[in-house]
Structures are given as C-alpha cells and as structure tokens.
Amino acid sequence: MGQLKRMIAGLLSAVLIVSAFTGCSSKGDISSGAAKQDFPVTIGTVTLKSEPAGVAVFSPNLADVILAMGYEISLKAKSNDCDQEDLSVLPNVDPSDPAAVKATGATLALFGANPGDGITAALQKEGILSLILPAAASRSDLERLYSEVGAAIKGGSTGYQKGIKTANNIYLTLDDITRVIPETDSPVTVCYLYDAKGKAATGDMLAGKLIESAGLVNAFAGSNGGQASTEALTISNPQYIFCAEGVKKQLQESDKYKKLEAVQKNRVYEMNPTYMERQGRGMIQAVSFMAGTVYPELLEGTLPSSKPSEPASSAPASSGGSSSSSSSSATSGKTPASSGQSAGAVPSGTYKRGDKSDAVKALQTRLDQLGYMFTAISGEYTAGTEQAVKDFQYLNGMEVTGIADPNTVAKLNSSEAKKRES
C-alpha cells in the first residue's frame, strides 16, 4: 500500500452567541488560553456554570468536530443534515420545536449559523443554552474552534486542551502528506468548485488552504468570500478542477467552461463535498484525494527520486473507504515473531471496530503509551481507537486499515514500535 494511503490516518468553529447560565468568573476565561479549572468557564462574554447534561448539534460541521474530538457520547440529539454514520442512533429534532429538544435531555444547543432570535429565545425558555459556532477560516482559527467546542462541552481546562490537541493532530497528518509531495519545477494549478455558478474554495477559506496542503496552487487564492468569477477561472485556466458531485457534467456542457484545459483534457474530478465543507477528519481525505489524483505515484508507493517534468493525469485517487463499523469479538490469530517484545504485551489476536474486551483495553493502553490514543481507554474498540491504530500503522510504515491484525499487534509489542511525537 502506498504512502498516501498510509496517511489517511488522521483523525479525523468562532463567534459564540449564548444565553442561559449566568454569572462570570475571570478564573475560567479561555480568551487567552486554557482555564485553571473546567467549570465555571467563560467563553466570549458568557459563563457556563457547569457541564451540560446533554448536547444537541444542529450543524454537520460541528458534528464532525465533536466526532474528531471523541465527544459524541455527550450528544443527545441532532438535526437531520448531521448524516454521519456514527451519529445514526441519535434522534433527529428540529430546533424550532424546543419541547422536543428538551425531551432528549439536551441543555446545550450548537449551531453553525444563527437560527434566529426567536429560536434561541424559545430554547432559553426551556432551559437550553444556544451557541453559534461558525466554521473556521484558517489554521489558527481551527484551533480556536476546537478549543471552544471542547470548553463548552467538557470545560475550560479538559475540553479546551483536548480541542487544541485534536486540531494539531489533524494538521500533523496534513503536514505529513505535504512533506511527501514530489518536488516539481512546474507548479500545478487547481481549483475546487462547489457548483458551476462560481461558488469556490477561495484564498480566505480553510478549504482553500487544503489545496495548498496537497502541494498545489489554488487558482482562486486571490479571491475572497467563496465566490470566483468566470473571468478569474478563465484567466487562471487550472490544470485540474475538483468539484462536488454532479458539477462535472455541468462544466462539460457549459460554453463558459468547455474550453478550459482541465475540461478538455478530462481532468475534472468529483469528490465527496463533505470533505471540503466539514472540518473534521474529512479534511485529511480531501487533501489525500487531491494529492493522489495529481500525483498518483503516491498511491503506488513509487515516489520518484528525481523531479518530474509534469504531473501525471490519470484516474482520480480513491477517497478512502471506512472500515467495518461492527464486529462481534476479537478472533485469535498467529502473531509473527518480533524482537524485544514489551512487558504487559497486547494479547495475540485480531481486533477491530465494535470489539469490547480486556484485550482491547490492553491494546488501547499500549497505543496510549506510544502517544496515539486521543480518547478514553474503555476496552471498547470505538472510532477513536480505530483512528489511533491507523495513525500507528501509518507512522510505522504499515498498511493502514484501522484493524489491529497480528502484524500490527506484533509491531505494537515490539521495542521497535515508533512513538508519536506530540
């Protein structure tokens, strides 16, 4: 398996409008960093006196952030557009029905955009706090987004620091991808289009920065506000166009776009739009997809020793599939011999998502010792454990599957297992 596929191991925003818990405490103010205690915590101008009993999320982007942090256990409800598989067990509720939101046990509602004063006031009457958390616009803004989401859910110390750590972990993985992009004397210009009407990933958006993380030049780096004119697209004439599903056909049929190099050479690639819209683990998949499309040698693990004269233009890279979401129990397997096996080793076997046992707990403990675990050690092979295994497999030069097979267990038990540097 090639270097890029081993990188899909990452993990896997923000003005706050709040009303409910009253009181203020400068000790819990996170405006300049982590607080000394969890609660009360001051976010913006409002102080939360205690940890919310439950959270309702009304933004698929914020749902992605919560999943990346491993805080989904705090969720009680979601809106219908939060379609992540890991949240499928949650009830869908409409924020315009505050009684229904209250019935789920939620005391905190998270929005990606202002739902209107009427809705926030109605929720407040039911004792539900409303926070508006817009998407992050930059790398530093992503840290702020994650830290404030974490602080609101788990407090100004624990949650804040978990947020910073998770955001940095995402960027560690993106930086790993950037480092292996082949050097070239001919920069490759690309763009990402959300539709065929000018909505694009511009230079002032975090989505635009993801293009740069893939070692590419954003054709709309000089545009702002998520809008790019037809003229700007014609002038930049990108070599590759990435777009949301369904947009490719519109580009091919439009007189405005059919003369573009990318369209003429069939270098228009559709990808899951959530990768560019949500700021969780999908960011890593977006960068992997774009880099692997332009530089397919990354997928084959055949990085050139010399600079290529121009990028290849083959079929698009796979966006990376998720591994099985359920399994009964760990099955035993034969562990390959390894040198320097550590004390308290992970028992021989194969472990994957859905398993729950003391052996899984031992696996999590070993991953934590090596710096890979970012969620609680519980004995249950959750999405967080799967991500930790992917990270370990990638940084130790193994095939990235998220499944702790005998080879992975043997490497974990070996004294040669590589630690993750924080």
Angle at 276 between CA 33 and CA 54, to 5 degrees: 50
For 73, other C-beta atoms within 10 Å of its C-beta total 12
Q: What are the pLDDT tens digits along the chain (422 aa)?
A: 455 554 444 333 333 333 333 333 346 888 889 999 999 988 777 778 899 999 999 999 999 999 999 999 999 999 999 999 889 999 999 999 999 999 999 999 999 999 999 999 999 999 999 988 889 999 889 999 999 999 999 999 999 999 999 999 999 888 888 888 888 888 999 999 999 999 999 999 999 999 999 999 999 999 999 999 888 888 999 999 999 999 999 999 998 898 899 999 999 999 999 999 999 988 988 998 999 899 987 765 433 333 333 443 333 333 333 333 333 333 333 333 333 444 468 999 999 988 999 999 999 999 989 888 867 788 999 877 887 888 888 788 888 888 999 999 999 999 999 887 64
Please say whether the dihedral angle defined by the alpha carbons of residues 161, 402, 285 and 210, taken in this order, is positive or negative. positive
Over 202-215, what HEC string results?
CCCCHHHHHHHHCC
Beta strands in 23-82 (DSSP E): 41-43, 46-48, 55-58, 75-78
Predicted pLDDT of residue 18: 36
In the chain, the amino acid numbered 47 is T
pTM: 0.68
- Domain 185-300 matches domain 324-422 at the CATH topology level: no
H or E element at residue 192: strand 189-193
Predicted pLDDT of residue 108: 94
Residue with tokens 């990376």: 320
Predicted pLDDT of residue 17: 35
Q: Which two tokens stand for residue 79?
A: 């809106």
User: Domain 185-300 sits in which CATH superfamily?
Assistant: Nitrogenase molybdenum iron protein domain (3.40.50.1980)
Predicted pLDDT of residue 300: 56
Find, among 134, 166, 190, 139, the residue nearest to 316 by Cα.
190
d(CA 331, CA 409): 13
Span 26-172: which CATH code? 3.40.50.1980
Residue with tokens 């091919």: 252
Predicted pLDDT of residue 332: 34
Burial of 413 (0-12, 13-18, 19+ CB in 10 A): buried
Q: Where are the alpha helices (DSSP H) in 224-273?
A: 230-236, 247-253, 261-264
Cα-based torsion angle of the residue sequence 165, 203, 191, 252 in order, rounded to the nearest 10 degrees: 130
Q: What ranges do the domains of the chain cover?
A: 26-172, 185-300, 324-422
In CATH terms, is domain 324-422 a member of 3.30.200.20?
no
